[in-house]
Structure 1
Amino acid sequence: MISRYMSSPIPDVRVEILLFDQECVVETDSNGYFEKDFIFNEPLAVSGWHKVRYKVLDKIVEEQEELEVEGEVYIHRNGEARYGVISDVDDTILISHATKVLSKLRLILTKNSKTRLPFTGVAAFYNALHQGADRSIQNPVFYVSSSEWNLYDFLEDFCEVRNIPKGPFLLQDLKTSLWKLITSGGGNHYHKLEKIKHLMSTFDDLPFILIGDSGQRDSLLYAEITRQFPERVKAIYIRDVSKSKKDEKVNAIARELLEHNVEMLLVTDTEEAARHAYDNGLISREEMLYVVEETRGQSQRPASLVGQLVESEDNNEKGG
């Protein structure tokens, strides 16, 4: 984890991109990023994930081998989803203690993508939303977080290990110091507002479900999105991870949003969100019941995956 924040960006490097039959060359900026818009004359056959290849054209180190990798991009066709999902990460899907500096730092420095835990029922609920009520099409899931790009590979691995649906991550700019590690995920979080507005504008055929937590400013940001994009928000779920004083503010915002016919629910667990989603035709009854089962089953787990492994070994020894 420390090495992620001690990395150095590599500017002014040419990268060749090959997407379908289109090829182009871009150059990395001062942060090592590159970006390219592709325009196609014909629509793609189907929405979803598509292969893309990247090749570094310039020499970065002595005796450099060829640097070429395959990645994926998500492309959406209008009319091929009922809604999209926009979710926060820290203390929404991933237990992070984002508002408690020492607890957060302990988790960052002592756990990895396989030993960090999601909240109970998250995988089942997000897969239910991804599948929708009739499973005929898949709804896209986007993750908008105050975490930095330094953590991208960690977050990608975490979702894969925990069977949380794959989706594009929109994160904060790369940070390159140990101090930035300590303050990871901080700031005023309004960059998330801009990224969500970008998603709303880019996927202008989709309404969205917004999911966050009460520990930071998600309820305020989502309320602003609802005001700016009326009739585009189907529901808002806020996980209750804070003290009652913040709960009062969230509930006050929720009452205001009823004027826009949007329900913002402050939920204590994933089961509560799933039941509401089923009642509003967003997921199937079968998937809702599976979320309930997973939420209740996982509520009995130890505090960490390491604890689960130790418990499993103990049970095996007793059985032997």
Structure 2
Amino acid sequence: MGYGTNEFLYLKGGVVENRPEFYSEATDKRRKNFRVMLSRYLSSPLPDMKVWIHLNGEVYHSVTDEYGYFSSWIDPIKDYEPGWHSVNFQIRKPDSDEIICETEGEFLIVGEQAEFGTISDIDDTILVSHATQLFKKLRLILTKNAKTRLPFEGVANFYQQLKANGNPFFYVSSSEWNLYEFLQDFFNVRKIPKGPFLLQEYKSGFRDLIFSGGGSHQHKQDKIKRLMKLFPHLKFILIGDSGQRDTEIYREALVNYPDRILAVYIRKIGKKDKFDQETIQEFKKRKVPLLLLENTQDAIEHARKLGVITYY
């Protein structure tokens, strides 16, 4: 899912081989779930593949990098209404018009009517993941699927309220692109608002599966900066958890964009039950609410008082 405005549109995708289609059911056995998840990390990215991008009668081209990704910044030739629109991607045989692979993508146009945007983490913010507990995390990853994994209670309700009036959602996560369609399926099943996923680079191999979601989180900071620059008229609510570095990342966003942050909600995970004094003072100085929350209902009540949602 791409995103942008009628001035700048960002599209991204990946080209891989040996990657079967995944259709999960709530009744799937653990063995199937394990096999499907493993296959997500054993398929091979294809570099130097030319991609045809068909958009509103125009054709654009991109080429995959060494990790099998392509991305393009496009200046649309027509204005789109705010909301979701389709785009066609094709791969053709070299020096031929024969299509060997074709798929439909989507992109979100954010309009001027949006009151604010929401940037949310996924693991242990929306999706129960136990990201800081290796064995619990592996048990969930390897034995369950998008139909049987659970969100935190109340998340769908809270996010649907934040989404009212066309307010956009962006999911900036350290999950890898390998999990893209798993996340799409999970969000659809749990009725969590649709939004572009801004994930960590594609990984390959069983070791990368074991340590999924780890590594540097610098990419989160980079992607938040991209969103801030692309949508200069928008202020944002930031939502994360205390299990990794979300507070630190959101504090940097506050420093870089002091007038663009409405509130920061951090879900309490594990033993991390307080913020350091330097962080607290930074948010106080900027007069931006920073809350460490036990449950989603507390976030709903605060957002209602803040005036960003109007009902329960």
Task: Name the TM-score class by shorter chain.
Answer: 0.7 to 0.9
Hey, what's the Cα distance between the residues in 2 that align with 1:160 and 1:258? 37
Partner of 2:92: 57
Among 124, 128, 141, the residue aligned to 1:108: 141
CA distance in 2 between counterparts of 1:252 and 1:268 reads 22
Q: CA deviation at 1:41?
A: 4.8
Residue in structure 1 matched with residue 75 of structure 2 by the alignment: 39
Report sequence identity in percent: 51
Who is 1:72 aligned against?
Answer: 106
2:265 aligned residue:
237
Q: Which has the higher helix share?
A: 1
SS in structure 2 at match of 1:18? strand
CA RMSD of aligned residues (A): 1.5
Question: Distance in 2 between the 1:160 and 1:28 partners?
Answer: 28
Superposed structure 1 runs of 4+ greater than 3 Å apart: none
Q: State the 1:251 CA deviation.
A: 6.7
The whole-number CA distance in structure 2 between the counterparts of 1:247 and 1:254 is 13
Which residue number in structure 1 is paired with residue 66 of structure 2?
30
Q: Distance in 2 between matches of 1:225 and 1:11?
A: 33
SS at match of 1:165: coil
Counterpart among 283, 287, 292 of residue 261 in structure 1: 287
Are 1:254 and 1:263, in contact at CA under 8 Å, matched by a contact in 2?
no
| Offset, 1:180 | 0.4
Would the aligned equivalents of 1:214 and 1:250 in 2 still touch at CA under 8 Å? no
Structure 1, unaligned stretches of length 5 or more?
132-136, 289-320
Unaligned runs of 5+ in 2: 1-36
2:56 is equivalent to residue 20 of structure 1: yes
2:116 to 59, 69, 83: 83
Alignment pair present for 1:193 and 2:228:
no
Of Structure 1 and Structure 2, the greater strand share is in 2
Mapping for residues 67-216 of structure 1, pairs under 5 Å? 67-77=101-111, 79-131=112-164, 137-216=165-244
Q: What letter corresponds to residue 106 of structure 2 in structure 1?
A: E
Which among 296, 301, 312 is matched to residue 275 of structure 1? 301
Distance 1:13 1:256 in 2: 46
- 1:255: Cα distance to partner? 3.9
Q: Aligned pairs, how many?
A: 273
Match of 2:34 in 1: none
Instruction: Report the TM-score when normalising by structure 2.
Output: 0.84
Residue type of the partner of 1:140? P
Q: Which amino acid aligns with 1:81?
A: A
